[in-house]
Amino acid sequence: MAEEKATVEATETAAAPEVKVETQAQQDPKEFLENFDWEKYEEGIERVDDSKLKEFENLVEENFVDTADEEVVEGTVVHMTDREAIIDINAKSEGVISLNEFRYNPDLKVGDKVEVLIDIREDKTGQLVLSHRKARTIKAWDRVNNAHDKEEIVTGFVKCRTKGGMIVDVFGIEAFLPGSQIDVKPIRDYDQYVGKTMEFKVVKINHEFKNVVVSHKALIEADIEEQKKEIIGQLEKGQVLEGVVKNITSYGVFIDLGGVDGLIHITDLSWSRINHPNEVVELDQKLNVVILDFDDNKSRIQLGLKQLEKHPWDALGDEIKVGDKVKGKVVVIADYGAFIEVADGVEGLIHVSEMSWSTHLRSAQDFVNVGDEVEAVVLTLDREERKMSLGIKQLTPDPWTDITSKYPVGSKHKGIVRNFTNFGVFVELEEGIDGLIYISDLSWTKKIKHPSEFVAVGDTLEVEVLELDVEGRKLSLGHKQTTANPWDKYSEDFAEGTVHTAAIAEVVDKGATINFNEDIVGFVPSRHMEKEDGKKLVKGETAEFKIIEFNKDFKRVVASHTAIFREQEEKNVKAAKSRSTSSDEAAPTLGDANAQLQALKDKMEAAAKKK
């Protein structure tokens, strides 16, 4: 049955060709081509006259593209899938192009005209494979050059980031978009532009290296320049404008006023002290600012933010007055003192001299740290000048109020060495009570050239109050007075005329020194160093010495070795003279005889007168 049916169909078909061809010949060529049954023709089922076939071949040649030519042709998008676009180029079959080649044109739709290049005439499935990318590349340089010459706006697809900017697909050519040419404001996140289609202007072409540089910033600069001129022309001091935080630095904030930049200095951000502008504002924040000043050409505009608010001093309550106690936070520390914020934007200075009753000025860091909450007393208050001075030491009693009862003259105490001078040592008895020990009052016996030879800063010393000046707030102290004066005893042991044995310690220009003990150093003049044999004592030689001078006040001891044997010589001379005198008195002399004769004569004359 199947064979019979096939025979019948073949017979019917064979009988119809001539009529069908005649009908087709009368049809429109395009309609004829669309309705022509190629399968029947190739199977020989439908026969066509040679003249008609020749006519048909001419029609095909006129309407169909020669797929052997690798020329750029224009096609029409006839269908789109999730991954591909079906393109009709009037060939025997429709071509396929991956949508990846149209990433630069996300608005591609059915009916759009696109340029394509035939890549493969027939793949393994008999499909025509086209390339839009290759077609764009062939035409790209002509289009890029034309856009550059005519300053036309082009559309490009941002493919990826690269060092210093972005890579943009323009007409199928990879162009470079510098980071500085993306926008008029600094770009902090480049990744936000990847995958976007944007408009650009071709600003530079290197034909030798086939490099293209594009700019998006150039498209908006012209509009901004016009807007900038308009804004600058309307600027006035005191004018309030809305701006956007463009950049934050350590010294201030740059505000974009719509193409015109202005600077808010850190001191004009807040009435309160701040360490960095990011404590007050953040990037891209919109805020109102006031114009404080600008130069002649208005290229430098000074803005203010805090000026939009009432000055904190104006809002300071009348209840605060001199003598009141206030609390605040340490905001700034300098060597000379610390600034305390007692209210928002209201600060007072505590000078270092008002931090302690001590007369020794130290650094403010020794008392407070930034961020500390402190209590202080208002010392001065000037609302017009907006100045306030504070004090901490006033919170405690003045230690000098009862100084006479605590530290009377003659009383002994312990203190800490705070510092030196060339003439003495300052000792702190308690916070705010300092006294001076003169260098001469450090030791009874030692000769001190500088206090550092005797004591170190931080040492504890026993002292005695020598003098007290309450009005002048001065205290004179002594250290040696806390012990007995050894020179009182030495004045007896080393009295003039006493003899001691010692060795020559050093020989100097005018004599030599000898050490009687740890405290007493005696001096021997050169003429008193002579020995009995006429030679002089030398260094290290031990001998007896006689004290010829002792001064307790000046701690001066002078000794002599020569006086030892000279005294003996003098004794011997005196003894010899004494023996000679006794011998002379025993034997009568001529003078004695004359005296006796004169006395006898006088006696005789007196007797004669009586007769």
Q: What is the mean pLDDT of residues 186-206?
A: 85
Looking at the structure, tell me whether residues 409 and 477 fall in a common domain. yes
**pLDDT in the model for residue 573:** 64
Looking at the structure, tell me whether residues 521 and 568 fall in a common domain. yes
Instruction: Decide: helix, strand or coil at residue 298.
Output: coil
What is the spatial distance between Cα 352 and Cα 62, in angstroms, rounded to a whole number?
Answer: 103
Looking at the structure, tell me whether residues 475 and 505 fall in a common domain. no
Write the pLDDT tens digit of every residue in 101-147: 887 788 888 888 888 877 766 666 667 778 777 777 777 787 888 88
Q: Would strands 542-551 and 197-206 be described as parallel, antiparallel, or unpaired?
A: unpaired
CB 268 within 8 A of CB 305: yes
Looking at the structure, tell me whether residues 385 and 408 fall in a common domain. no
pLDDT higher than 80, residue 229: no
What is the spatial distance between Cα 240 and Cα 289, in angstroms, rounded to a whole number?
Answer: 6
Task: Give the confidence band of 471 by pLDDT, cuts at 50, 70, 90.
Answer: confident
- Residue 267 vs residues 304, 319, 371, 498: alpha-carbon distances, Å: 9, 28, 19, 83
Looking at the structure, tell me whether residues 336 and 357 fall in a common domain. yes
What is the spatial distance between Cα 182 and Cα 205, in angstroms, rounded to a whole number?
Answer: 18
Q: What is the mean pLDDT of the chain?
A: 79
Instruction: Decide: helix, strand or coil at residue 444.
Output: coil
Q: What is the pTM of this model?
A: 0.41
Place of tokens 């001379």: 573
Which pair of structure tokens corresponds to residue 570?
């003098």
Q: Measure CA 48 to chain center.
A: 96
383 part of a folded domain: yes
Percent of the chain with pLDDT over 70: 79
Count the Cβ atoms, other than its own, within 10 Å of residue 75. Answer: 25
419 part of a folded domain: yes
4 part of a folded domain: no
Range of the domain at 259: 235-304
Q: Which amino acid, 392?
A: I
Percent of the chain with pLDDT over 90: 11
Q: Which has more confidence, 61 or 219?
A: 219
Cα–Cα nearest to 468, from 413, 405, 397, 404: 404
Which pair of structure tokens corresponds to residue 210?
């086939």
How many residues comprise the chain?
Answer: 611
The residue out of 137, 167, 183 marking a domain boundary is 137
What is the spatial distance between Cα 581 and Cα 487, in angstroms, rounded to a whole number?
Answer: 46
DSSP state, residue 182: T
159 part of a folded domain: yes
**pLDDT in the model for residue 274:** 83
61 part of a folded domain: no
Write the pLDDT tens digit of every residue in 230-268: 777 778 888 888 989 989 999 999 998 877 888 999 989
Q: What is the mean pLDDT of residues 393-400?
A: 85
Looking at the structure, tell me whether residues 109 and 168 fall in a common domain. no
Q: Which has more confidence, 311 or 408?
A: 408
| Domain count within the chain | 6
372 part of a folded domain: yes
Looking at the structure, tell me whether residues 278 and 254 fall in a common domain. yes
**pLDDT in the model for residue 125:** 66
Looking at the structure, tell me whether residues 468 and 521 fall in a common domain. no
**pLDDT in the model for residue 523:** 92
Place of tokens 């504890």: 460
589 part of a folded domain: no
355 part of a folded domain: yes
Looking at the structure, tell me whether residues 340 and 388 fall in a common domain. yes
The residue out of 450, 483, 516 marking a domain boundary is 483
β-pair partners for 202? 214
The CATH number of whichever domain residue 209 belongs to comes to 2.40.50.140
**pLDDT in the model for residue 377:** 92
**pLDDT in the model for residue 63:** 47
Q: What is the mean pLDDT of residues 209-232?
A: 78
**pLDDT in the model for residue 253:** 92
Looking at the structure, tell me whether residues 96 and 117 fall in a common domain. yes
Cα–Cα nearest to 592, from 584, 603, 582, 583: 584
How many helices, marked H, and strands, marked E, lie in the chain? 11, 30
Looking at the structure, tell me whether residues 372 and 328 fall in a common domain. yes
Those residues with Cβ within 8 angstroms of residue 409's Cβ, 6 or more apart along the chain or in another chain: 465, 466, 467, 468
Residue 201 has φ and ψ, to the nearest 5°, of -125, 130
- Residue 180 vs residues 164, 217, 381: alpha-carbon distances, Å: 8, 8, 53
**pLDDT in the model for residue 375:** 92
Count the Cβ atoms, other than its own, within 10 Å of residue 478. Answer: 20
Those residues with Cβ within 8 angstroms of residue 77's Cβ, 6 or more apart along the chain or in another chain: 85, 86, 87, 108, 109, 110, 111, 112, 113, 114
Looking at the structure, tell me whether residues 443 and 503 fall in a common domain. no
The residue out of 273, 304, 335 marking a domain boundary is 304
Q: Which amino acid, 155?
A: T
Which pair of structure tokens corresponds to residue 339?
């600034």
DSSP state, residue 349: E
